[in-house]
Structure 1
Amino acid sequence: MKINRCTQNPLLTPADVRPSNPRFQVDGVFNCGVARYGDEIILLCRVAESVKQDEEGKIEIPIVVNEEGRDRIATVAYDKRVQTQFDYSDNRTIFRTRPNGGRIAVNLTSLSHLRVARSKDGIHFTIDEKPSIMPIASQESWGMEDPRITQIGQVYYITYSAVTENGVCVSLMKTEDFTYFERMGIIFGPENKDVTIFPEKIGGQYVAFNRPVPFGIGNPSMWLAKSPDLLHWGEQELFMAASKEDGWDAGRIGGGAVPVKTEKGWLVVYHAADENDRYCLGIYLLDPEEPKKVIGKLDVPFIEPETVYEKEGFFGNVVFTCGALLEDETLMIYYGAADDKICRVDVALQDIYEMLGV
């Protein structure tokens, strides 16, 4: 199968993004939701920012707080030379070691917001000068991450990870013009991520993949849920578990791009990571009337980190998608590379069918 990485990759990098605050630096622009809006392709990008560090050994962490009824950006300071009880080895998160083993996050090193980028050709994007949506203290004090866009009629529904010190939830918002966004609240409580909503009802109900995160038994895996109204979700059912063997999908798996409807069924690109946190993309085809029924599935990675821009970055060896578009019988996948840049890869639909044996 021919995988066509765009020759213009990466399409967006931190250098293309203006910081939201003079004290901030942009660490990454990545993991974008994708939609066709009029004659433009819209990317709703996750932009991760951190505080510029003035003194070696000290770290300032940005968070959102509410004081006297108003939200503002504040910072929490850590001194690695003195506060040695924390684990600073992961450049994404500061951890504390649990007494009985394992680690618990005490802060993220960056704060993410969502920002719109626009393009006429799907390759050359102009990203907005300012954030489109900033996190709020009550629901997203540690940031907003990994948006996914599902178009239903003229409304674009956006799921995203709402991160707080009390866990990661999944929230929903909607827009009709990518200028005004209406928050609809939390739809999956902690800890859950990677929610992708199918773009039409199936059997009279809305359907979505989600990824609960177990801490006692099992690994993070993909589940299916149903809803009458996009707000109240239930009838949870395990769809696909992480591999029990040492492989490319042994660490965790979760939703990737919003499912794309084709003449042969629902085409789903998902992500998986091994036990060393190397992220790849997988692909399968689902029955159009029974989304839990797999028609075809690739057992090896569909796309894996191979290029320099995928292997090297803020967090290397990562390809991670939140959105794809099917146009002119070609699946255009927009993906985050190494947690700091946005890229595109194209695959002919017929090649995918042949690969899946359908």
Structure 2
Amino acid sequence: MTDALAAADFPYALERVGLLMTPLADDPFEAEGVLNPGSGRGPDGELYLLPRLVATGNVSRIGIARVVVEDGVPVGVERQGIVLEPERTWEVGAQNAGVEDPRTTFLPAIGLHVMTYVAYGPLGPHTAVAVSEDLREWRRLGPVRFGYDDALDVDLGLYFNKDCVFFPEPVVGPDGIESIAVLQRPVWDLSEIRPGEGVHPPSWVEDTRPSIWISFVHLDRVREDIGALAEWRGHRVLAGPEMPFEELKIGAGPAPIRVPEGWLLLHHGVTGELVGSLAQQQNVNYAAGAMILEAERPWEVVSRTSEPLLSADTEDEQSGIVPNVVFPTAMEEIDGVQYVFYGMADSKIGVAKIVRRSA
């Protein structure tokens, strides 16, 4: 049984460091915000963010910015351009377009940075995968293809999917094969693209609220064909909404990191009132929580926070394109400290640090 721990009892805490990145008033690519970044170390050893840049009309691109560090603390960024923009047919619709919310993981086992991002194309938001050696040149592997398992009675390719992120180290999957694990978050409501269809989950799903799932890619398959990174199999539910701050839905944050207790996974929980599944929301609250996943069996949750580690309490987190949002998407180590980069009210980027509580 999963242990539900109050924030004060969870072994890790989040402490705000400050505001890191705000949109430039004279840059049309940032007219509607900078938010929800990926991250990574470049070949030069420098730390970079890959922020989502939102132009007028809610068209998103992915930029690159060097993180400015002073005395071991991230204090700002140096913008260095755009690395991905909506160019493919599956990233551009008649009334919408975007490459959104990158999650990036460096995988030493294959020597590449792997990015999942939301391609907001003609059939709504679907996850896609790209890879890079240097964080600047990205090779698209295309939208994710979900392996079919008849026992699950579901084709995950039919549904919107967001909040996907790869683990940084291979694991031995439930089938006993060394694999790369990846988190995902399908949404069962099809009404946005097929009016009248409504919520259409697998027959065995009792709680239809968006939940975190885990899937796997066999490592030897990836070494044979890098395109296999976009072919996910072995799907299973990892965690659903359970706590009050997760009342509407949950989703994964940055790539999990190994800690003495297992894998530390930051996630977001949502409360309030959702209006549709694709519209920009105005009556929701996003907060950051955390889970510990079992070290050798990361599809099992050992413990999770019953309360948020970080809520929308500052002006920058409460006022923006979507008010009251704390949305962690990247985590990087600087001088032995893990820093978390998060979206603030869908408008700016903040930074917090992970602190281990005393035993």
Structure 2 distance, partners of 1:139, 1:321, is: 26
**Does 2:102 match 1:147?**
yes
* 2:2 corresponds to 1:12: no
Equivalent residues of 2:238, 2:301 under 8 A apart: no
Same amino acid, percent of matched pairs: 27
- Deviation of 1:301 after TM superposition, in Å, equals 0.7
Residue 209 of structure 2 aligns with an amino acid whose one-letter code is N
1:226 aligned to 207, 216, 226, which one?
A: 216
In structure 1, list runs of 5 or more residues that go unmatched: 51-108
In structure 1, C-alpha distance between the alignment counterparts of 2:124 and 2:32, rounded to whole Å:
22
Q: The residue matched to 2:317 in structure 1 has which SS?
A: helix
Measured in 2, the distance between the counterparts of 1:298 and 1:16 equals 38
Q: Which residue of 1 aligns with 2:47?
A: 41
Counting matched residue pairs gives: 285
Q: After alignment, is 309-318 or 271-280 more displaced? A: 271-280
2:287 maps to 280
**What aligned pairs does 1:186-225 form with structure 2 within 5 A after superposition?**
186-188=143-145, 189=157, 190-203=159-172, 204-215=178-189, 216=199, 218-225=208-215
Trace 1:225-304 onto structure 2 (pairs within 5 A).
Answer: 225-228=215-218, 229=222, 230-243=229-242, 247-276=244-273, 277-304=284-311
Are the counterparts in 2 of residues 253 and 273 from structure 1 also a CA contact under 8 Å?
yes
Structure 1 residues 127 and 293, CA, compared in 2 at 3 Å: closer, same or farther? same
Alignment partners' CA distance in 1, 2:100 and 2:137: 19
Match of 1:158 in 2: 115
Q: CA RMSD in A?
A: 1.9
2:15 counterpart letter in structure 1 = N
TM-score, with structure 1 as normaliser: 0.75
**Does the 8 A contact of 2:294 with 2:301 survive in 1?**
yes
Give ranges in structure 2 of 5+ residues lacking alignment: 1-7, 146-156, 173-177, 190-198, 202-207, 223-228, 274-283
CA distance in 2, matches of 1:173, 1:328: 29
Distance 1:137 1:155, change over 3 A: closer
Q: Distance in 2 between matches of 1:302 and 1:329?
A: 21
Deviations 1:271-305 (A, max 9, x none): 11013320001101111110022232211111110
CA drift at 1:312: 0.7
Which one has the largest radius of gyration?
Answer: 1
Question: Residue 309 of structure 1: SS of its match in structure 2?
Answer: helix
1:136 aligned residue: 87
Letter of the structure 1 residue corresponding to residue 144 of structure 2: I
**Which digits, 9 at most, give the CA deviation of each residue in 1:158-204, with x for residues without a partner?**
00011113121111111111221111111154411111110121000
Structure with greater contact order relative to length (CA < 8 Å, sep ≥ 6): 2
